[in-house]
A = this chain, B = another copy of it.
Amino acid sequence: MVGVASDAGARRTRPGRGRADKAAAIARAACEVFGRDGYSRASIDAIAAEAGVSTRTLYNHFPGGKAELFRSVMRWSAGRVRDEQLARLRRYLDPHRPPRPEDLERDLLALARAWVALMTDFRDHFSLVRQIQGEAGHVPAEVLDAWQEAGPRAVAREMAEIMAALADHGLLDVHDDPAQAASHFVALTAAEIAQRSYWGVVPLPPEETDRITAAGVRAFLRAYGAAH
């Protein structure tokens, strides 16, 4: 169970010559290796090899060593995915242009599908999230809080605003708690998939994710659809 199968010659394309290129390559590689193996099992050598740099260069770019590298990668990955999450949110549910009532379910379903697709599109990130949850007791509380604030909470706030907007337009009844409605939307559409697929590591059959997502959206609309 302990074996790490990634062979060492796995340097893909050479990072460019600039400093920034190396730093980005290291961050991407660290995200992948930390996500796959976890903090303790991930070795600096494996990360450097995956990034195509020497271990010495890695230490030159991240003088704090392994611990600081992990924290940097947490911030880097959280920001990247948060931006993409916010983009998808606004693409499918623009708070300034609410859908027609007969299109609400269609748009919510599209959003839910785009949401669960994130787990495969950013597999490395969500693997890292999984590892962060296991590592929570060993990460300083303020680092953990900063990560939540820069990632999950920012997304939750935006989604709550959209729920409130939909309620203002009479499309939903959020029962005076748009944040709770947003949380329930994510729980109904993504929680089961995340749990059963280990956050995208063991992908479910597409028809299964479609079924679960659609059932989640229908349940959400029964719970939060506007009374008529």
A residues near B (Cβ < 8 Å) are: 1-4, 36-38, 40-41, 67, 70-71, 130-131, 133-140, 143, 175, 177, 180, 183-184, 187-188, 191-192, 198-199, 201-202, 212, 215-216, 218-220, 222-224
CB nearest to A4 among chain B residues:
B138
Q: List 21 A-B contacts (CB under 8 A).
A: A1-B67, A1-B139, A2-B67, A4-B138, A37-B137, A37-B138, A38-B134, A38-B135, A130-B136, A133-B199, A134-B134, A134-B135, A136-B198, A180-B215, A184-B216, A187-B188, A187-B192, A219-B223, A222-B222, A222-B224, A223-B223
State how many angstroms separate the Cβ of A190 from the closest Cβ of chain B. Answer: 9
Contact indicator A192/B202 (Cβ below 8 Å): no
A201 with B137, Cβ < 8 A, contacts A40-B40, A67-B1 known: yes
Contact indicator B2/A36 (Cβ below 8 Å): no
Copies of this chain present in the complex amount to 2
Contacts of A223 in B (CB 8 A): 219-220, 222-223
C-alpha gap A215/B181 in the complex (Å): 9
Contact indicator B138/A198 (Cβ below 8 Å): no
CB nearest to A38 among chain B residues:
B134
Contacts of A188 in B (CB 8 A): 184, 187-188
Contacts of A143 in B (CB 8 A): 1
Contacts of A41 in B (CB 8 A): 40, 138
